[in-house]
Amino acid sequence: MVKIVAEFRQEREALNDLVMKYADLTIKRFYGLDSQAYREGALPPKTKEMLGLVASLVLRCDDCIKYHVIRCKEEGVSTDEMVEVLGIGLVVGGSITIPHLRRALQAWDELGN
């Protein structure tokens, strides 16, 4: 595992532990809802992760982008699919998403692509 992805995973786990230390019912329910949304349904998890990635790119959330890039890799997204997904996000989000596109591809590349 290369630097950016490994550091992200470590920090995300530590911060999620901290959140759960203080979490009330609202926070716990939101985390549960988020997990449920990406489960198998009418759309497979792979498709849902790609949708999450596009939304995250458009919203310019680097943490979310990294998370969905990692999950896309785990769900078997190909490099060609990743490029098309990021292209959709770029078209929808415009040139302001380019720095986030760069970091998404950096994480993808570090995952072995």
Task: Dump pLDDT digits (tens) for 35-88.
Answer: 999 999 999 999 999 999 999 999 999 999 999 999 999 999 999 999 999 999
pLDDT at 109: 96
Residue 15 banded pLDDT, cuts 50, 70, 90: very high
- Work out how many domains the chain is built from and give that number: 1
Q: For the chain, give the mean pLDDT.
A: 96
Among the ranges given (1-5, 43-47, 57-61, 106-110), the one the predictor scored with the smallest mean pLDDT: 1-5
> Which DSSP string corresponds to 25-59?
HHHHHHHHHHHHHTSSSSS-HHHHHHHHHHHHHHH
Provide the CATH number for the domain around residue 34.
Answer: 1.20.1290.10
Torsion angle, CA of 93/94/99/104, rounded to 10 degrees? 50
Domain residues for the domain of 71 are 3-110
pLDDT at 3: 85
Q: pTM value?
A: 0.91
pLDDT at 1: 46
